Amino acid sequence: MVTIGASRWGRIGLKDLWAYRELFYFLTWRDVKVRYKQTLLGVAWAVLQPVFTMIVFTLFFGRFAGIPSDNIPYPLFAFAGLLPWTFFSNAVSASSNSLVGNANLITKVYFPRIVIPGAAVAAALVDFAVAFVILVALMIYYGVAISWNIALLPALVLLTTLLALGVGLCTSALNVQYRDIRYALPFMMQLWMFVSPIIYPTSIIPEKYRWALALNPLSGIITGYRASLFGQPFDWPALAVASVVTLAFLLCSAYSFWRMENKFADII
């Protein structure tokens, strides 16, 4: 039997993760149930957050501020950006606190610790799927036709998931050792939202500064969602940068996580 804290980089691979797949399914389902346990509206909360945010953005930024939306009705434009952002934000927030929240499990038995933040990200996908139904309804209401660009949507969802997992691995490991991460994270996520093209299109950014915006992987991802859903041209350079940054960050986060996980049981 493997003892707690015995893992090292390279010893935990896909084979080991597959061996603990049932634990991953259990933790994912548990996170989904706990999130809506003893709530009046249940899973409807997954819809209310992006819908009410969309309404506020539409009133203040769409009507009062007159921010352009690339010839897309602003409510639809905003919701298409809020959908991946809300999934990403909720996944990162949940995964960041997942190790501390499962301290009893970590100190009692050994398993690949990456399963815990991974399950938190997977649980957030349920909210994403529910909220996506509202997006489909809005597209029908505004008469938006589907194009072949929609075929890239699953890849964009996967890219968003990998980015959320990468950030979640990093912040969850840091949160074990530095508990003030939980207080700094909401501020960081708020800043991240405003530097991502959720309430505004990338077209309003002067062309000479767009390279800086592209360094934010969510920029390419969110514009990719809109291109996929509304049949607009893809910004392939931005998507390429987003993919490279996401994969590089995920690999670095996984490496750091596995280097630190043998200490989790001792300091959590």
Model confidence pLDDT, tens digit, residues 206-260: 888 888 888 999 999 999 999 999 999 999 999 999 999 999 999 999 999 988 8
Residue 9: the pLDDT is 43
Residue 4: the pLDDT is 42
Domain boundaries, the chain: 14-267
Residues 163-215 pLDDT 10s: 999 999 999 999 988 888 888 999 999 999 999 999 999 988 888 888 888 89
Cα–Cα distance for residue pair 158/174, rounded to 1 Å: 24
Residues 19-53 pLDDT 10s: 778 888 889 988 888 777 766 666 777 788 889 99
Q: 101 falls in which pLDDT band (50, 70, 90)?
A: confident
Q: 5 falls in which pLDDT band (50, 70, 90)?
A: very low
